[in-house]
Amino acid sequence: MTTRLYTHPIYLEHLTPTGHPERPDRLRAIAQALQDERFDALDRKESPPGDPDAILLAHPLSYREKVEAAIPTEGLVRIDADTSASPKSWEAALTAIGAATAAVDDVFSGAADNVFVASRPPGHHAERETAMGFCLFNNAAIAARHAQRKHGAERVAIVDWDVHHGNGTQDIFWHDPSVLYCSTHQMPLYPGTGDRHETGAGNIVNAPLAAGDEGEAFKDAMRTRVLSAIDAFKPDLIIISAGFDAHHRDPLAEINLVEDDFDWATGELLERAGRFCSNRLVSLLEGGYDLQGLATSTAAHVSRLMKG
């Protein structure tokens, strides 16, 4: 089982205000965790540059131009109350897209069985025409569309276990039954979407959790809502929006998962990738704001990816 890792120093140059939870130290913590000898076999690659036209797979040209025009030449600007940009944010966001699309290419070409992309800014809150929730562009949505356009994937499943609902991904694929979007997340919580009754074209599967829920509730939601939907959908590719802020240490939510829960969920999705789509699985980093919880959870996730 070949697992590839994409990351890049430019991600550290997307700056946020002092005290902001989505900060460069997140990737430093992940990088340190992945230096352990158990990751010696990880196929490490520098993220390639992204094509600005790839943004148009999930967002209109007017939105791309709006974000690019908002990037400052110095200092920081606020895109919305939570989301900021610095002079290198455009390059960082493009490189995150480059890594996401390269990861899709890798799993379709056989260069890797699965890929983990450690990038920032994250993406799953970015709606078709709105930046929000620390996100500028929706990396998972762009990756899914890239798989369809370049590789002829007929059915793509996106599984989002970030503790915050991926309203952006849901928005982009609301009317599109060729993409299955499944999300576990805390409700009520930012951004306020993700009710079980939000079903789109029958392709949206929300499995909300309550504050205080632990691993068993998460596993039950995965089994009864998410995994069963994937089994019925039979995807050609599985994409994970891999947020680790449902970890019990995380300061932004109240779900109490541990590293073994992420290991278990990864294993369940790998089993389905093997069954339905020749092992093709791409995992994209989303949230996770306690550095220790993020590092150990990511390590558990990547270790499981490597074991297959």
Q: What are the structural domains of the chain? A: 3-307 (3.40.800.20)
Distance separating alpha carbons of residues 241 and 138, to the nearest angstrom = 10
Q: Two tokens at 275?
A: 């069954």
Distance separating alpha carbons of residues 283 and 159, to the nearest angstrom = 9
SS3 assignment for the chain: CCEEEEECHHHHHCCCCCCCCCCCHHHHHHHHHCCCHHHCCCEEEECCCCCHHHHHHCCCHHHHHHHHHHCCCCCCEECCCCCEECCCHHHHHHHHHHHHHHHHHHHHHCCCCEEEECCCCCCCCCECCECECCECCCHHHHHHHHHHHHHCCCCEEEEECCCCCCHHHHHHHCCCCCEEEEEEEECCCCCCCCCCCCCCCCCEEEEEECCCCEHHHHHHHHHHHHHHHHHHHCCCEEEEEECCCCECCCCCCCCEECHHHHHHHHHHHHHHHHHHCCCCEEEEECCCCCHHHHHHHHHHHHHHHHHC
Residue tagged 């039979």 (tokens): 234
Q: What is the pLDDT of residue 141?
A: 99
**What one-letter code names the amino acid at 111?**
A
Catalytic-role residue among 8, 14, 125, 146 = 125
Distance separating alpha carbons of residues 89 and 240, to the nearest angstrom = 23
Q: What is the pLDDT of residue 234?
A: 98
Helices 291-307, 259-276: inter-axial angle, 10-degree rounding? 30
Distance separating alpha carbons of residues 267 and 116, to the nearest angstrom = 14
The pTM for the full model equals: 0.98
CA-based Rg of the chain, rounded to a whole angstrom?
A: 17
Q: What is the pLDDT of residue 44?
A: 98
Q: What is the pLDDT of residue 1?
A: 77
Average pLDDT by stretches of 10, the chain with 308 residues: 96 97 98 98 98 98 98 97 97 98 98 98 98 98 98 98 98 98 98 98 98 98 98 98 98 98 98 98 98 98 96
The residues with which 159 forms a beta bridge, in sequence order, are: 182, 240
Q: What is the pLDDT of residue 308?
A: 86
Known catalytic membership, residue 125: yes
* Cα maximum dimension of the chain: 50
